[in-house]
Amino acid sequence: MNDNNERRVVSVIVVNEASVLSRITDLFSGRGYNITSLTVAPIPESKYSRLTIVTSGSVRVIEQITKQLHKLIPVLRVYEHADLVEKEMALVKFPITENISDISAICNAYNGKIVNVGNDVIITMVADEPKRVDHYLEAIRKYNPKEIVRSGAVALER
Amino acid sequence: MQISGAQMVIEALIAEGVDTVFGYPGGAIMNVYDEIYKQDSFQHILTRHEQAAVHAAEGYSKASGKVGVSMITSGPGFTNAVTGLADAYMDSIPLVVISGQVPMSLIGTDAFQEIDAVGISRSCTKHNYLVTDAKDLPRILKEAFYIARTGRPGPVHVDIPKDVTAQIAEFDYNVELDLETYKPHVKGNPRQIKKAMEAIANAKRPVFYLGGGIINSNAAYEVRDLVHTTGIPAVETFMARGTLSYDDDLLIGMLGMHGSYAANMAMSETDLVIALGARFDDRVTGKLSEFAKNAAVIHVDIDPASISKLVHANYPIVGDIKNVVNEMLKLSSMVDSNNYEPWRETIENFAQLHPLTFHEDSENIKPQWVVKRVGELLGDDANISTDVGQHQMWTAQFYPFTRPRQFISSGGLGTMGFGFPAAIGVKAAVPEKTSINFTGDGSILMNCQELMTAVEKKLPVINIILNNNFLGMVRQWQTLFYDKRHSETDLSVQPDFVKLAEAFGGIGYRVSTKKEFDAALKEAVERNIVAFIDVKVERFENVMPMVPSGGSLFNMMLLEKKESK
Ligand SMILES: Cc1ncc(C[n+]2csc(CCOP(=O)(O)OP(=O)(O)O)c2C)c(N)n1
């Protein structure tokens, strides 16, 4: 099999209850599965939360991950996405001395903008596909970013 | 009705029909123990260690088919019980384990006897709860019993802070269970079942691969019907011993690392594996890529995650074994048992080529002889539990099991110290049968304090110590794979097991001849008393045949003509 360690996105709908998140992360660590990123938030007007987990593994591993997740009592549904819209966010802090208009132009190209300008720093935000966020972070390297935060992915089936 | 959290625990146990609780008190669970004192609806068996309380509940559950219950305190009480939880989890045994916790106001302060119990038990339970309000207790306890016994059964842990057991709230056990995220799939897909039956009808060399799930699902008698109407030979896993009676013509034997030659060869030569409630454990399959290499696989299991986890299933069927087997029985006219006659003959030849046997010895008692002898003397009248090691494998190989739930042993975790407390639980569940525990001189010391429990509660377990002055199973591997370097496995220095039994008020026998053994067993059974029978057996005996770990089933080390030391 040459499908080893392919990147996969899995969504999990869980009942909002104490320690449900650690049940999920314990399952990954206990069984030696990998979590690349994880995003959680309550689903509005429901008693559920949605987790988006980016992971990697062979077809067999992913199948086990979904089955084992489903076995957890508070898990309602598990989707392994094939065709999806996926977004990630990055916040970057630059010295105020960098070229603001260049930075702003790059941000625009990646669905982003400058969100804060202070005395010493400017902060930008982009939200785009994970690959494109990679490219963005490449592109802004020469503007001496002081700090970068990246969120996990969120995804919806098309 | 407005009652305390502690009273709720008692009421819930009564409502669930619990008749026996195994436990050990302490500060955090005292409110509940105070209520236990006041009631007489169920008996409480005080073990002398929390690990034993859980193993006893496991033995009770395995022998009776009911949910086992144990009760323990916080901190060290809970951590002592963890091995039991892990053991029950690995063997899918339905348990509800209730632990006390420090009061809510102290949680997270590193209080006296505080430990993150639900954090610890998460990875070795089917589900767990920290109860933060007494008004949730009826629902949680009801869910706990339901989750423990349905689907793939398993242990459920309920951790209750001390102030919650004191809190007064409304109790109504008729709460509706609202588990919309937990819906075990019990009915197999009819189309898949039909396809599976077609595959069986078209196979030339099919084999039933019977696993412990059959016992859990109380499906052994339905499985017997299916095996007999189809005429297809069957192998049993260690956990499935007793599904077919030992004298069943279609039973090939146990398969796996210490399985019989015929069973492992049948698995290697088959063209269709019909796996029922079995999970393709590595001790069973040997080298996976060589396991049943030319066979299609029908896999029936209640747990979807077990199917195709290790071996690809061509016919996956998720469902309760009993249910699915009943459906298969309805279609059994599709199958002509005469078609498999040549295959049955092939298997018969395998069995004759290398029968499961051992070399008798005129000087020493062979451990296998002891197992066979107990089988001759007690047979179906005994329930058999074991500890872990060579004696465990010899018991699985040589005891003439006639029925499901007769054999109780720690399979998945392989927990030394399991046998004696489990046998106490077995005796509590099925008092009319003799309760025998085959154990080793290593294993018995891991929970020998339970002599006190057995003596106090008059639960006369007979422990037969196959005493080889070794941690025998480890010694066997050292002999075979580590050039006889017997590192830290020599148990030449031993307690006096007779005096040990006597010190607790039981009885001990030291046995070094066959005659003495017969006499000791007869007397222990007749006197109906807690006993240790310390049998001096051949020190260097190996469990044979053997598939070295990671090897292929068809490459077995067989019993040698002359024994080597
Ligand atoms: C709690 C625990 N510790 C260690 C082991 C590893 N182990 C497996 S078998 C065995 C030897 C058992 O010796 P004994 O009880 O004397 O039985 P024998 O093999 O001699 O029949 C050991 C140490 C285990 N299974 N469980």
Q: How do residues B84-127 score in pLDDT, each as one tens digit?
A: 999 999 999 999 999 999 999 999 999 999 999 999 999 999 99
Dist CA B485 CA B483 (whole Å): 6
Q: What pLDDT was estimated at residue B533?
A: 98
Of A10, A86, A85, A20, nearest to A47 by C-alpha is A20
Contacts of B266 (CB under 8 A, 6+ apart): B207, B233, B235, B252, B255, B347, B350
B254 Cβ closer than 6 Å to some ligand 1 atom: no
| Mean pLDDT to the nearest integer, A20-26 | 95
Looking up tokens 């050990």 gives B24
Nearest residue of A to residue B127 by CA position? A73
B477 Cβ closer than 6 Å to some ligand 1 atom: no
Of B512, B417, B513, nearest to B471 by C-alpha is B417
Report CB contact under 8 Å: B304, A70: yes
Share of chain B above pLDDT 70, in %: 99
> Domains along chain A?
6-80 (3.30.70.260), 85-157 (3.30.70.1150)
Report CB contact under 8 Å: A71, B118: no
Contact B361, B254 (CB under 8 A): no
Of B398, B546, B554, B392, nearest to B480 by C-alpha is B546
Q: What pLDDT was estimated at residue A5?
A: 79
For residue B144, pLDDT beyond 80: yes
What residues of chain B lie within 8 A of the CB of A30, using their CB?
123
Strands B2-4 and B20-23: unpaired
Of B524, B405, B454, B525, nearest to B60 by C-alpha is B405
Share of chain B above pLDDT 90, in %: 97
B87 Cβ closer than 6 Å to some ligand 1 atom: no
Mean pLDDT (chain A, rounded) = 93
| Mean pLDDT to the nearest integer, B368-383 | 98
CA dist B515 → B179, B434, B535 (Å):
59, 21, 12
Q: What pLDDT was estimated at residue B363?
A: 83
Q: Where in chain B is the domain with CATH 3.40.50.1220?
A: 190-353
Known catalytic residue at B50: yes
pLDDT band at residue B362 under the 50/70/90 scheme: confident
- ipTM, interface predicted TM-score of the complex: 0.89
Contact B69, B20 (CB under 8 A): yes
| C-alpha distance from A145 to closest chain B C-alpha (Å) | 39
Known catalytic residue at B162: yes
Q: What pLDDT was estimated at residue B562?
A: 57
| C-alpha distance from A76 to closest chain B C-alpha (Å) | 5
For A9-40, give the secondary structure using H, E and C. Answer: EEEEEEECCCCHHHHHHHHHHHCCCEEEEEEE
CATH 3.90.470.20 is right for the domain spanning B2-170: no
pLDDT (tens digit per residue) in B325-353 = 999 999 999 999 999 999 999 999 999 99
Q: Which fold has domain B367-536?
A: Rossmann fold (3.40.50)
Report CB contact under 8 Å: A76, B126: no
Residue of B119, B180, B305 lying closest to A67 (CB–CB): B305
Q: What pLDDT was estimated at residue B33?
A: 98
| C-alpha distance from A59 to closest chain B C-alpha (Å) | 11
Which listed residue (B1, B112, B360, B376) is catalytic?
B112
φ, ψ of residue B275 to 5 degrees: the values are -90, 120
How close are the terminal C-alpha atoms of chain A, in Å? 28
What residues of chain A lie within 8 A of the CB of B180, using their CB?
76
pLDDT band at residue B446 under the 50/70/90 scheme: very high
| C-alpha distance from A73 to closest chain B C-alpha (Å) | 6
pLDDT (tens digit per residue) in B506-523 = 999 999 999 999 999 999
Residue of A18, A30, A76 lying closest to B123 (CB–CB): A30
Q: If residue B471 lies in a helix (H) or strand (E), which one and from where to where?
A: none
Q: What pLDDT was estimated at residue A1?
A: 41
Contact B169, B133 (CB under 8 A): yes
pLDDT (tens digit per residue) in B466-505 = 999 999 999 999 999 999 999 999 999 999 999 999 999 9
Of B130, B178, B50, B134, nearest to A23 by C-alpha is B130
pLDDT (tens digit per residue) in B545-556 = 999 989 999 999
What residues of chain B lie within 8 A of the CB of A15, using their CB?
181
Q: If residue B408 lies in a helix (H) or strand (E), which one and from where to where?
A: strand B407-408
| Mean pLDDT to the nearest integer, A38-63 | 94
Q: Where in chain B is the domain with CATH 3.40.50.970?
A: 2-170, 367-536
pLDDT band at residue A82 under the 50/70/90 scheme: confident
| Mean pLDDT to the nearest integer, B262-267 | 98
B442 Cβ closer than 6 Å to some ligand 1 atom: yes
pLDDT band at residue A33 under the 50/70/90 scheme: very high
Q: Which residues of B touch A (CB under 8 A)?
A: 118-119, 122-123, 126-127, 130, 132, 147, 179-182, 303-305, 308-309
Where does B41-199 show beta strands of DSSP type E? Answer: 43-46, 68-72, 95-101, 127-130, 155-161, 168-170
For residue A131, pLDDT beyond 50: yes
Known catalytic residue at B113: yes
What residues of chain A lie within 8 A of the CB of B182, using their CB?
73
Mean pLDDT (chain B, rounded) = 97
What's domain B190-353's architecture?
3-Layer(aba) Sandwich (3.40)
Q: What angle do CA A47, B89, A66 make, to 5 degrees?
A: 45
